[in-house]
Amino acid sequence: MATLHSLLDNDFYKFTMQYAVIKLFPRAQARYQFINRGKHEFPAGFGNKLREAINQMAGLQLTAEEKSFFAKTCPYIDPTYFDFLQGYSYDPQEVLIEQHGSSLAVHIQGYWYRTILWEVPILSLICELYYEMTGLRRNDDAEVADIVRRKMDKYDELDITIADFGTRRRHSYAVHDLVIHTLKNHPSSTFIGTSNVHLAMKYHTKPIGTHAHEWFMFHAAKYGYKMANLLGLEHWSDVYRGDLGIALSDTYTTDVFFKQFDKKLSKLFDGVRHDSGDPIEFAEKTIAHYRSGGIDPLSKTIIFSDGLDYKKVEKIALFCQGKIGHSFGIGTDFTNDVGLPRMNIVLKMTETLPEEGEWTPVIKLSDEPMKHTGEPEEIDMAIKYLQIEDHE
């Protein structure tokens, strides 16, 4: 039976965003919705099994050992946050699950500072339950570990650094645990950490991440689309004062982002993260942006994290070499390369209620139009308002 093993079995950026939300927007509320991009068909009873697993999450609590690890790892976060996290518990009543035939619906609603932690573990539970209930047999542990080792041997030759970003669409906890164990024990310095805080603690490696699209989506709802990136990054820097300095660039397309990523922010942040669209085109735009501000691109870093495999990583690394710093966050190609079809599912914020005002729909305008999320009317309005051309 799929289950979570720790409150920290989640992506690092969920906790860093939660801390920022508590400090700046403690009364904001949010709604999230499951999106079945891959049109997967769920077996009978799946919704009930998912409900059981989510109900069990209410019993998860931060242990004293976990609290000590997290606080020691993140000295830039106030100790009051770790006290809060020690008292935090998931409230399953915030999650509505419905199944009609083979179709699954999941909706989440509550205070943003609470509901922000649901997305990643629910997606990982959906994946694990799907493979359990459909009876699909994966490669055995020796094969999975061998696949990881062979990939790492090839990555070592590129002289790059990589991290695991594969929690949300992993095959299972057991596979994820095996992958991190294998990566940690690989005889090179290529592997530098994981987005999963629980596994970072278990394997004495670094938890990696900063923020996600929902941070900027909320800012757009509260302050408007033209201020979303600017104020999102200003507020981030107000909270973290220079730490966690990788800026996510594609919530409202890269072109719009760079218009708002002014010289102050370009100097303050260590780099940017690429998560959609052509990676080489993105690298070219990023290099040009830094050069136009008199900033040496080699002093900055791009974190590439969009559906990576070896072929894509090799192409990107060869292009970026000697031009700009680069590193890679690899997701399902590590945690769900087990001889089975991979799931294509997401769970996104759909609406937010800031401290004042009313429920406001939120959207994402990816550099890849097929990855837009939100109401079509709102997407069309934002495209026109932001004067985004050729992005229908």
- Give the pLDDT confidence of 95-121 residue by residue, as tens digits: 999 999 999 999 999 999 999 999 999
Report which residue type is found at 174.
A
Distance, CA of 271 to chain centre = 17
Q: How many CB atoms lie within 10 A of CB 80?
A: 11
Q: How many CA atoms lie within 13 A of 104 on its CB side?
A: 30
Whether 47 shows a pLDDT value over 90: the answer reads: yes
Tell me how far apart the alpha carbons of residues 57 and 365 are, in angstroms, rounded to a whole number.
Answer: 32
Q: How confident is the model at residue 200 (pLDDT cuts 50, 70, 90)?
A: very high
Mean per-residue pLDDT, 116-131:
98
Are the CB atoms for 93 and 55 separated by under 8 Å? no
pLDDT in tens, 310-356: 999 999 999 999 999 999 999 999 999 999 999 999 999 999 999 88
Token digits for 30? 């949010």
66 phi/psi in degrees, rounded to 5: -65, -40
- 3-class SS of residue 159: coil
Mean per-residue pLDDT, 20-38:
97
What per-residue confidence (pLDDT) applies to 372?
87
pLDDT above 90 covers a percentage of the chain that reads 94
pLDDT in tens, 299-313: 999 999 999 999 999
Q: Which domains does the chain have, with CATH numbers?
A: 12-137+349-385 (3.20.140.10), 141-335 (3.20.140.10)
pTM: 0.97
Sheet order of strands, 191-194 included:
206-207, 191-194, 162-164, 325-330, 301-304, 271-274, 246-248
Please give the helix or strand (H or E) that residue 199 lies within, else none.
helix 197-202
What per-residue confidence (pLDDT) applies to 390?
56
338 phi/psi in degrees, rounded to 5: -130, 20
Mean per-residue pLDDT, 229-239:
98
Distance, CA of 85 to chain centre = 20
